[in-house]
Amino acid sequence: KTAMQIVEIMKVMEARHPVVMATRVSAEKSAEIQAALPQATYFEMARICAIQPSVPLAIRPGKLSILTAGTADLPVAEEAAVTAELCGFQVTRLWDVGVAGIHRLLSNRHVIDQSDVLIVAAGMEGALPSVVAGLADRPVVAVPTSVGYGASFNGLAPLLTMLNSCATGIG
């Protein structure tokens, strides 16, 4: 979509919804959108341009944690985190806790234990969601990313790993 198409859509939606988001927006497009809609906020890492209510939404029950295997997974994970926060959820971020440095994940076990839902983004081989699901007795949303070096095949390898996980509770 062009920036002006996004502006027109956001104007219509703003009249009907307390939160309006446009995702996968470049910094250049966001500048055009914000020129037309000064009330819009741009979340650069998440690539989200959003209009938020003047009064924050009520905090929704439950605790959502979002984990990444590596720093390359941050844009995808941050998109999920910002979306959840805009919808009123409390979010804990736990970045760069992949299996290559499993001690970082294990030293944050309390985050897993205190969460109601875990969203886990991973590229490369995509093993982190399986490890987290093995430690957790709560739902794990596995999100393959198309980043990483080696034979990740633009996200196909992590997707297949996540689909073939033997850990229970993964979606």
Residues 6+ apart with CB under 8 A from 40: 10, 30, 33, 34, 49, 50, 51
What is the per-residue pLDDT across 114-141, written as a single tens digit (0 to 9) for each?
999 999 999 988 899 999 999 999 999 9
Q: How many domains does the chain have?
A: 2
Q: Is residue 168 part of a domain?
A: no
Residues 6+ apart with CB under 8 A from 131: 99, 102, 105, 167
pLDDT of residue 148: 67
Q: Is residue 169 part of a domain?
A: no
Range of the domain at 105: 61-162
Q: Is residue 157 part of a domain?
A: yes
The reply to whether 43 and 67 lie within a common domain is no
Q: Is residue 20 part of a domain?
A: yes
The reply to whether 87 and 24 lie within a common domain is no
Q: Is residue 43 part of a domain?
A: yes
Query: pTM for the complete prediction?
Result: 0.90
What is the per-residue pLDDT across 151-163, written as a single tens digit (0 to 9) for each?
778 888 888 888 8
Q: Is residue 9 part of a domain?
A: yes
Distances in Å between the Cα of 161 and the Cα atoms of 44, 103, 139, 156 are: 29, 21, 17, 9
Q: Is residue 55 part of a domain?
A: no
The reply to whether 102 and 133 lie within a common domain is yes
The reply to whether 67 and 146 lie within a common domain is yes
The reply to whether 69 and 148 lie within a common domain is yes
The reply to whether 110 and 151 lie within a common domain is yes
